[in-house]
Structure 1
Amino acid sequence: METQLGNGPAGIRGDLSATDLAKALRQGWRDFAARPQYGLFFASFYVAVGIGLYYLFMVRGETRWLIAAVAGFPLFAPFAAVGLYEVSRRLEQGLPMGWTHVLGALRGRGDEQLLLMGGIIFVGFSFWVIIAHMIFAIFASAAGLGEGMAFLTSQMGLTMLAVGGAIGAIIAFIFYAMTVMSLPMLVDRDVDFITAIITSFKALSANFAVLLLWAVMIAVALFAAILPYFLGLLVVLPVLGHATWHLYRRTVG
């Protein structure tokens, strides 16, 4: 039987603090240092796709698509961390560790729940790219400066970045609320993705200030990691992935 922890809904702690975030980060670094090959493996795909998108759009001069893709790229971070959740789960429980176990986690529990979540995230990313493209087109047309840096550094371009950033932040936060606890839960338990999403929203509601801070920390860390040609993600993404697992364990139990 589920029991109420803290002051949150049944089975969910409602007393998380910044101390819990610090502990989760320390444990995330510990897990990454213990099995770095897995973190580097998953992060390398993320880095390769990012670099590929950058050069593709820069060579073709499609600035509007580059901005949209880079800004929406973090939406895939939680799904990219599924294998890392499995690594942390096995380290935590002292289970055998191998590529078969870790890669097998990407298939979920054979019920396609993780696949469905991945589809939702992909739809969200596609929706954001379309919205961002529309915003770019509207402001660029109004400014009459094309798509280059001259437009981006103009007053109209800066206004566009502010508007697009605000809309993107709202979309990103919605998906963060959906996935921050649901994806680790789908790795940890035999539940459907609807139940996992509901649990994630309940956890956010019970610990809004702390989990909002966690969202900001993730966004800042990912943005900083993207700047050096995405290479910072080789460390930042695994540590955040492992840390999110431990935060999930503290929150959902």
Structure 2
Amino acid sequence: MSEDTRTTVPLARQEPVIRRIGRADIVDALSAGLRDFQAYPAFGLFFGGVYALGGIVILACAFLWDLLYLVYPLAAGFVLVGPFVAVGLYEVSRLREQGQVPSWSGVFRAIWAQGGKEISWMAFVTIFLFIIWMYQVRLLIALFFGLHGMPAGGFPGVLFTTPEGLAFLAVGHIVGAVLATVTFSLTVVSFPLLLDREVDFISAMITSVRAVVSNPAAMLGWAAFVVLMLFTAALPAFLGLVVVLPVLGHITWHLYRRLVG
């Protein structure tokens, strides 16, 4: 093979190395995330407030349009877009990790710079998953309660005192758990990886799934912790998310650093 021919052969892109982590790594990431939030709480409270406000607006629309039976699935599905909202928090942790002082202009400039890049496609993926989440809820309502949907009045009684309602709750939670696990696997590493490196969003999702598959116990334990924290934070009209989202966002960055070499 000639020298000219050899120089035209592209080098294969090396896949990110996935590390094995354990409980100690998650504890270290928790501590580092809390320190980031304590060091720069204003950023966390801002992005947490934006996220909480979005949830409040969605629930207000459900009440306004008399769709009370969609309040719970809307609240649960809204969690799926959390990783996208936390991009600014990843940037704060990244800058602090490099010994830099985060600034509002620098953080927003970093977020704005992602427009039209791979992270925008990843955001589309999360929104698409949220739409799928709501469609599966509507499908299950039609399957168990007919095309007319759930009765507008007395729906809590219908859910908890009728065979159709109990079956709907059981199947809905199973399907929701599967979809939430898929979403978690696709996004837990994707957003911080795309912010940190020049990779395409498909490779980022593959890397994220590889990280979960390589560390099933640790990652599923982390997922359960995230769900518990978000559920608890959402109970007081989403107001708890003002603090919980930024803390989880900072922790996720440090968990990504321990997962991906």
Q: For residue 23 of structure 2, what is the amino acid of its counterpart?
A: A
| CA offsets 1:158-194 (integer angstroms, 9 cap, x no match) | 3312211111111111111111111110111111112
Q: For residue 42 of structure 2, what is the amino acid of its counterpart?
A: Q
Q: For residue 226 of structure 1, what is the amino acid of its counterpart?
A: A
Quick one: distance in 1 between partners of 2:16 and 2:235?
41
| CA offsets 1:81-133 (integer angstroms, 9 cap, x no match) | 11100000001111241112211232355651010000111111111101111
In structure 2, the residue matched to 1:196 is 204
In structure 2, the residue matched to 1:247 is 255
Question: 1:13 aligned to 19, 32, 42, which one?
Answer: 19
Residues 180 and 244, structure 1, Cα contact 8 Å, conserved in 2: yes
**Cα gap change, 1:63/1:17 in structure 2, threshold over 3 Å: closer, same or farther?**
same
Quick one: distance in 2 between partners of 1:81 and 1:145?
35
Quick one: distance in 2 between partners of 1:251 and 1:182?
12
* Structure 1 portions without partners, runs of 5+: 1-8
**Cα gap change, 1:139/1:182 in structure 2, threshold over 3 Å: closer, same or farther?**
same
In structure 2, the residue matched to 1:92 is 97
Question: 1:150 aligned to 150, 157, 167, which one?
Answer: 157
Q: For residue 41 of structure 2, what is the amino acid of its counterpart?
A: P
Q: How many residues are treated as equivalent by the alignment?
A: 245
Residues 177 and 201, structure 1, Cα contact 8 Å, conserved in 2: yes
In structure 2, the residue matched to 1:181 is 189
TM-score (norm 1): 0.90
Quick one: distance in 1 between partners of 2:160 and 2:220?
30
Quick one: distance in 1 between partners of 2:80 and 2:150?
30
Tell me the CA shift for residue 202 of structure 1: 1.3
- 1:205 aligned onto 2:210: no
Q: What's the C-alpha RMSD, in Å, of the aligned pairs?
A: 2.1
Quick one: distance in 2 between partners of 1:172 and 1:91?
31
Question: 2:135 aligned to 121, 126, 130, which one?
Answer: 130
The 5 Å alignment of 1:6-45 reads: 11-14=17-20, 16-45=21-50
Tell me the CA shift for residue 153 of structure 1: 2.4
Quick one: distance in 2 between partners of 1:193 and 1:142?
38
Moved more, 135-144 or 238-247: 135-144
| CA offsets 1:215-244 (integer angstroms, 9 cap, x no match) | 111111101110011011011111000000
Greater C-alpha Rg: 2
- 1:235 aligned onto 2:243: yes
Tell me the CA shift for residue 144 of structure 1: 8.9
Quick one: distance in 1 between partners of 2:174 and 2:73?
13
Residues 65 and 133, structure 1, Cα contact 8 Å, conserved in 2: no
Quick one: distance in 1 between partners of 2:192 and 2:92?
11
Q: Which runs of 4 or more aligned residues in structure 1 lie more than 6 Å from their structure 2 counterparts after TM superposition? A: 142-145
Tell me the CA shift for residue 143 of structure 1: 11
Quick one: distance in 1 between partners of 2:19 and 2:226?
21
Tell me the CA shift for residue 10 of structure 1: 6.4
Residues 72 and 128, structure 1, Cα contact 8 Å, conserved in 2: yes
Question: 2:68 aligned to 44, 56, 63, which one?
Answer: 63
Q: For residue 151 of structure 1, what is the amino acid of its counterpart?
A: V
Quick one: distance in 1 between partners of 2:116 and 2:141?
40
